[in-house]
A and B are shown apart, each in its own frame.
Chain A
Amino acid sequence: MTKKISVVEKIHSANDQLALENKQQLDQVDLFSLNIMASPGAGKTSLIEKTLPLLKSDYKIAAIDGDVATSIDADRAAEAGATAVQINTGGQCHIDAHMLRNALMELDLDEFDLLLVENVGNLICPASFKLGTDKNVLIASIPEGDDKPYKYPAMYQDVDALIINKIDLLPYVKFNMEYFQKGVQMLNPDLITFLVSCTTGEGIEEWVNWVVEHIKEKKAA
């Protein structure tokens, strides 16, 4: 005899629970954390490289880098002044809360003021897996095209800050900023947006000021 059982449980509930535990762990030591997401080549590591020199004299920074393989990104973050931990996801296209928890164990969290988590380059999967970080940041880059908010709505609707990178390429690439931002506005109307070039350094200061503001806010809380 078949019997119907009501379940009504979110598919991501186990990951969400672990994310909550990560958040509690980070809150205990007032460590402000960012989950940085983007497609491959949008400039996640370059942004971290540009951000660290402006912060490292005042703040201690840890970077956790997720990649399918290699430690290239963690090496670059370490070179730029962070204490870096590499997560190799072994083929998985995103970091999940469990992987982050394991990486957090390798760090003496009490020592740090800022944690940067560099997710795997991907515009689909990381959106579904919360990590427990304070803010989710998405980097879009000009050469990717202006249709990305329309094609990857899940990624755009839940982030807390958007960086549009490689704006130095605007004169050379077909990219309709108005169309792009219209799509973003539909999904996430009050999203704070930074126009940045990691090559020329334009806009980096505004972004760094935003980060500093939040580090201080968390410490004061």
Chain B
Amino acid sequence: MHELSITEQIADIAIRHGEKNAAEKITDLYLVIGELSTVIDDSVQFYWDLITEDTICAGATLHFQRIPANFLCQECGKEYQMVDGELAPCPFCQSTKMEILQGKEFHLDSINII
């Protein structure tokens, strides 16, 4: 049921911005989702079609831009990426002290309207 409440929040934001811009219809939504931010999959599109049936968002397509998790090693100062969604120590020096540079994003970037 996680996806359902997230889908509702996305719809609320999109409709608010659509109405502000006098949209007749919202055709596309561009979402930015960091690898570390939340579990979200294609079921969002399924919920989307149910929830937005009678709104200006009906039939809109959801586009997901996935942002990989990027870390900065605090020991050797090198940057590295998460591989296969699994957390791992720095591949260069094996340190576990890292700063998360990106991967926590979760926002609606833009919408296309008519």
A interface residues (Cβ-Cβ under 8 A, vs B): 1-15, 91-94, 96, 124-125, 127-129, 149-150, 153-154, 157, 182-183, 185-187, 189
Contacts and interface: CB of A to CB of B under 8 A. Distances in A.
Contacts of A2: 27-28, 112-114
B37 interface: yes
Contact of A7 (B4, B89, B109): B109
Contacts of B112: 2-5
A169 to B, nearest CB: 25
A11 B1 contact: no
B65 interface: no
Interface size bucket, B side? 35 or more
Interface of B: 1-2, 4-6, 9-10, 12-14, 17-18, 21, 23, 27-28, 31, 36-39, 86-87, 89, 96-98, 100, 106-114
B17 to A, nearest CB: 5
Chief secondary structure at chain A's binding surface: mixed
Given A14-B12, A14-B13, A185-B96, 14 more contacts: A2-B113, A3-B113, A6-B109, A6-B110, A7-B13, A7-B14, A7-B109, A7-B110, A11-B10, A11-B108, A12-B9, A154-B39, A157-B36, A189-B97
A179 B31 CA distance: 35
